[in-house]
């Protein structure tokens, strides 16, 4: 059965893809589980860092489950797969906690797009990244031509999407897409995560929004989130809410 597990160990949460019979390919059920786990993580103040991992095997994730979308009409494919995938991947990309993708195997198609929605990536030396969609007659649909193209040089995205070339771990590292190549990427990611748990969660959250806004990661939503955070930290909010609850007019101090 395809699943995504969530385990919490102290300040580090681990979301783990589990569909090994299909190289951890993503089903719509798994997409929904990722969204649900993101919502759960946001509610848990103890979590400081998130790892996105996958069951051991040849692939971290071999993309969208081809058998699930193969029979869909064009309209349902666009509506249920592409747009639903965007919703979930955007949710992950905008998670308030830093997220590390642990690429213990190949990250292909949707698997690569999923890794691109994380903040940093750690990769096994034998793993590769690729956009093999053209081989099955489609195009990258979960931001492989958009978000991924902001993280990698555009010619490299073209190399993968238009020529079907795979990029090995060392090259992905040299391009800055991967933070570290390690024989045991899980251990390496855990070390990075543990070292980050002592950082100010407010500073990392704000920094993540600011970097996201600069990188056009839904700039309007990021600006709104930053503005809302700033105003809600002001005395005016306390006064406004207090006045509302006490059924009196608010008295805001001058600037
Ligand atoms: N969706 C559904 N099933 C998938 C899958 C996917 N994206 N990727 C792999 N699988 C399944 C295979 O069908 C196979 O199932 P089976 O054992 O029931 O036949 C199993 O996972 C193992 O894959 P297999 O192809 O036998 O392994 P391989 O080592 O020969 O090849 C890949 C590995 C990754 C090259 C190959 O599986 C592949 O090309 N997968 C599709 C990748 C892709 O196009 N992703 C984008 C999808 S939009």
Is residue 205 flagged as an active site residue? no
* Ligand 1 centre distance from Cα of residue 106 (Å): 11
Task: Report whether residue 22 contacts ligand 1, using a CB cutoff of 6 Å.
Answer: yes
pLDDT of residue 218: 73
pLDDT value at position 52? 98
CA distance 97 to 48: 6
Find out whether 127 and 103 touch, Cβ atoms under 8 Å.
yes
**Catalytic site residue 84?**
no
Q: Is the CB of 113 under 6 A from ligand 1?
A: no
What gap in Å lies between CA 66 and CA 45, rounded to an integer? 37
Distances (CA, A) of 42 to 15, 36, 95: 13, 10, 7
66 lines ligand 1 (CB under 6 A): yes
Give the separation between CA 219 and CA 221, rounded to whole angstroms.
6
The verdict on the CB of residue 58 being under 6 Å from ligand 1 is yes
Distance in Å, CA 23 to ligand 1 centroid? 6
Q: Which helix (H) or strand (E) holds 128?
A: strand 128-130
- Helix then strand count (H, E) for the chain reads 12, 10
Q: Give the nearest ligand 1 atom to 67 CA.
A: 2
**Cα separation values, 5 from 15, 63, 86, 101, Å:** 6, 18, 21, 15
Report pLDDT for 130: 98
**If you take atom 15 of ligand 1, which residue's CA is the nearest one?**
22
3-class SS string, 205-242: HHHHHHHHHHCCCCHHHHHHHHHHHHHHCCHHHHHHHH
In this prediction, residue 230 carries a pLDDT of 78
> Per the residue annotation, which of 14, 55, 68, 113 is the catalytic one?
113
- Tokens representing 186 are 């899980």
* Spatial distance between the Cα atoms of 14 and 71, rounded to a whole number of angstroms: 33
Number of neighbouring beta carbons within 10 Å of residue 145: 17
The pLDDT of residue 101: 98
pLDDT, position 254: 85
CB of residue 23 inside a 6 A radius of ligand 1: yes
Place of tokens 């390496």: 188
Whether the CB of 139 sits within 6 Å of ligand 1: no
Per-residue pLDDT of the chain (255 residues; tens, 9 = 90+): 889 999 999 999 999 999 999 999 999 999 999 999 999 999 999 999 999 999 999 999 999 999 998 888 888 888 888 889 999 999 999 999 999 999 999 999 999 999 999 999 999 999 999 999 999 999 999 999 999 999 999 999 999 999 999 999 999 999 999 999 999 999 999 999 999 999 999 999 999 988 988 887 777 777 777 777 777 778 888 888 889 889 999 999 988
Tokens 């990188």, residue located: 215
Q: What is the predicted pLDDT for the residue at 134?
A: 93
- pLDDT of 240 reads 87
Of ligand 1's atoms, which has the minimum distance to the CA of residue 22? 21
In this predicted structure, what is the pLDDT of residue 227?
76
Q: Tens digits of per-residue pLDDT, 65-76?
A: 999 988 888 888
d(CA 174, CA 126): 15
Confidence at residue 167, expressed as pLDDT on a 0 to 100 scale: 98
What letters, b where the CB count within 10 A reaches 16 and e where it falls short, cover 59-96?
A: bbbbbbbeebbeeeeeeebeebbbebbbebbbbbbbbb
Strands 12-18 and 59-61: unpaired
Residues 6+ apart with CB under 8 A from 91: 34, 35, 38, 39
């Amino acid at each position: 059965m395809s699943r995504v597990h969530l385990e919490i160990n102290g300040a580090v949460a681990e979301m783990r893809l589990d569909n090994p019979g299909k190289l951890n390919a993503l089903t719509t059920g798994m997409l929904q589980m990722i969204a649900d786990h993101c919502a759960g993580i946001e509610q848990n103040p103890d979590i400081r860092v998130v790892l996105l991992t996958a069951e051991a095997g040849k692939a971290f994730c071999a993309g969208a489950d081809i058998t699930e979308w193969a029979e869909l009409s064009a309209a349902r494919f666009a509506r249920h797969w592409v747009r639903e995938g965007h919703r979930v991947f955007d949710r992950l990309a905008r998670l308030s906690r830093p997220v590390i993708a642990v690429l213990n195997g190949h990250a292909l198609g949707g698997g690569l797009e999923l890794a691109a929605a994380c903040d940093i990536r750690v990769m096994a030396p034998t793993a590769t990244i690729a956009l093999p969609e053209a081989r099955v007659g489609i195009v990258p649909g979960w931001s492989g031509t958009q978000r991924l193209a902001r993280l990698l040089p555009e010619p490299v995205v073209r190399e993968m999407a238009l020529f079907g070339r795979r990029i090995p771990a060392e090259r992905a590292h040299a391009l800055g897409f991967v933070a570290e190549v390690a024989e045991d990427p899980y251990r390496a990611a855990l070390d990075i995560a543990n070292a980050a748990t002592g950082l100010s969660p407010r500073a990392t959250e704000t920094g993540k929004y600011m970097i996201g806004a600069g990188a056009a990661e839904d700039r309007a939503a990021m600006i709104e989130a930053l503005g809302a955070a700033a105003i809600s930290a002001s005395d005016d909010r306390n006064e406004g809410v207090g006045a509302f609850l006490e059924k009196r007019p608010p008295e805001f101090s001058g600037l």
